[in-house]
Structure 1
Amino acid sequence: MRPIDRNEVLGIGEYEAIRERFRSRIIEEKRPRRVRIGDHLTAVFENRDSVLFQIQEMLRTERITSESGILHEIETYNDLIPGAGQLSLTLFVEIPDRALRDRMLIDLVGLEDAVSIEIDGVAARALGKREGSMEDRTTAVHYLKADLPAEAQAAIKARKAAVSLVVGHPRYAVKAPLGRATLEKLAEDLS
């Protein structure tokens, strides 16, 4: 997928004028991309639209208007766009209860190293950047990418693959099969 270019990013005022329509479209686009993984994890498969939305929302929320600030956000979030033969996902630890969440973030240390995408029984490990990771706990958000073998890509594009998100952590082991709508989006991403 092609990275977001500077000319695609609107100024805050221009964005405000289209925000509700754009936001509604992205929410609908993300719905089939969101996958529940057990009781406490959710993943969202990223694409260009979801990344552009993140950039625009960050600029709006942080009131970033300087060219250097805008370019920094574009560069930062472009890392989420999958490359050729890749799937990109954001993994969220979603626990509303603060005490339980704090305990789970300690229990799930190393979570970022325990995620894979299984395509027809073959696992492609999802990897992320290690910067910002802590030795005694994990974080609530992880940005991961999985490089898929050519045969896995072909099976997904042909819409014939059985695909699951798998977490193989000693304290949280779960396999979440992906539904048809999600697989359709992944096939689009790989095409």
Structure 2
Amino acid sequence: MQLTGKITRDSLMTLEAYAKWRKAHKAEVIEHRKLRTVHLGEHITVQFESEMSIRYQIQEMLRLEKIFEEEGIEQEIEAYVPLVPEGSNWKATMLIEYPDISERKRELARLIGVEDRMFVEVEGHERIYAIADEDLDRENEEKTSAVHFLRFEFKPVAVQAVKAGAAVKLGCDHRNYPAHVVIPAETLASLAGDLK
């Protein structure tokens, strides 16, 4: 999988080429995703996206749906490309996970607005709150969704601090899910590469 800085139809593999590539490289993509995953408490997981993770997601959708026509490929690109970081931000998929169905239903009702209370805090700088679900609203008056898409937009001074090695916390200050965690060094090193 060649990272080009921009995902276009011409930069994607054909279904046949991807099938061969996938056999040889699936494990490294899984490791990349694992490296960029941060658990916040027991029930929230944040998967920071990258060009590699989104390119893989698009290729997987094309493979699973057997999409090879131009229009279908463009639709998949349009759906996923907004999740690729653009140099001044981190973008992530946030998952709220409760294995028990009745507990999940109860907690999703208690966690309305949680996506707007997610933040990253660069050491020595103010919190950067997530801009959530820019494509569509994923909650209603009764519950929030179990999946949200987040964008953390950095000021240039915060970018410089991250690149210089400042510690960064991922957190949530929702009244029903207060939590924070220091992003591990190896994960932070990968995320710092998203910032220009």
- Please tell me the TM-score bracket, short chain as reference: over 0.9
> Following the alignment from structure 2 to structure 1, what is the Cα–Cα distance between the partners of residues 68 and 160?
42
Partner in structure 1 of residue 136 of structure 2: 131
Per the alignment, in what secondary structure is the counterpart of residue 184 of structure 1?
helix
Residues 121-160 of structure 1: matches in 2 within 5 Å?
121-128=125-132, 129=134, 131-135=136-140, 136-159=142-165
**Are 1:184 and 2:194 counterparts?**
no
Per the alignment, in what secondary structure is the counterpart of residue 153 of structure 1?
helix
Per the alignment, in what secondary structure is the counterpart of residue 151 of structure 1?
helix
Return the match for 1:90 from 82, 89, 93. Answer: 93
Structure 1 residue 155 displacement after superposition: 1.1
> Which amino acid in structure 2 is aligned with residue 18 of structure 1?
W
Whether contact under 8 Å (2:86, 2:194) holds in the other structure is: no
> Which amino acid in structure 2 is aligned with residue 137 of structure 1?
K
Where in structure 1 are there 5+ consecutive unaligned residues? none
> Following the alignment from structure 1 to structure 2, what is the Cα–Cα distance between the partners of residues 132 and 147?
19
Where in structure 2 are there 5+ consecutive unaligned residues? none
Return the match for 1:101 from 88, 100, 104. Answer: 104
Per the alignment, in what secondary structure is the counterpart of residue 35 of structure 1?
strand
Partner in structure 1 of residue 83 of structure 2: 80
Per the alignment, in what secondary structure is the counterpart of residue 194 of structure 2?
helix
> Following the alignment from structure 1 to structure 2, what is the Cα–Cα distance between the partners of residues 98 and 21?
37
Per the alignment, in what secondary structure is the counterpart of residue 131 of structure 1?
coil
> Following the alignment from structure 1 to structure 2, what is the Cα–Cα distance between the partners of residues 86 and 105?
27
Residues 127-136 or 75-84, more deviating: 127-136
Structure 1 residue 115 displacement after superposition: 0.7
Structure 1 residue 74 displacement after superposition: 0.7
Normalised to the residue count of structure 1, the TM-score between the two structures is 0.93
Partner in structure 2 of residue 174 of structure 1: 179
Whether contact under 8 Å (2:138, 2:148) holds in the other structure is: no
Residue 27 and residue 169 in structure 1: after superposition, are their counterparts in 2 closer, same or farther (change >3 A)?
A: same
Identity within the alignment, %? 35
CA-based RMSD: 1.6
> Which amino acid in structure 2 is aligned with residue 99 of structure 1?
S
Per the alignment, in what secondary structure is the counterpart of residue 28 of structure 1?
helix
Per the alignment, in what secondary structure is the counterpart of residue 127 of structure 2?
strand
> Following the alignment from structure 1 to structure 2, what is the Cα–Cα distance between the partners of residues 143 and 21?
29
Which consecutive segments of 4 or more residues in structure 1 shift more than 6 A? none
> Which amino acid in structure 2 is aligned with residue 148 of structure 1?
F
Whether contact under 8 Å (1:44, 1:89) holds in the other structure is: yes
Structure 1 residue 134 displacement after superposition: 2.6
Per the alignment, in what secondary structure is the counterpart of residue 60 of structure 2?
helix
Structure 1 residue 83 displacement after superposition: 1.6
> Following the alignment from structure 2 to structure 1, what is the Cα–Cα distance between the partners of residues 16 and 105?
38
Structure 1 residue 73 displacement after superposition: 0.6
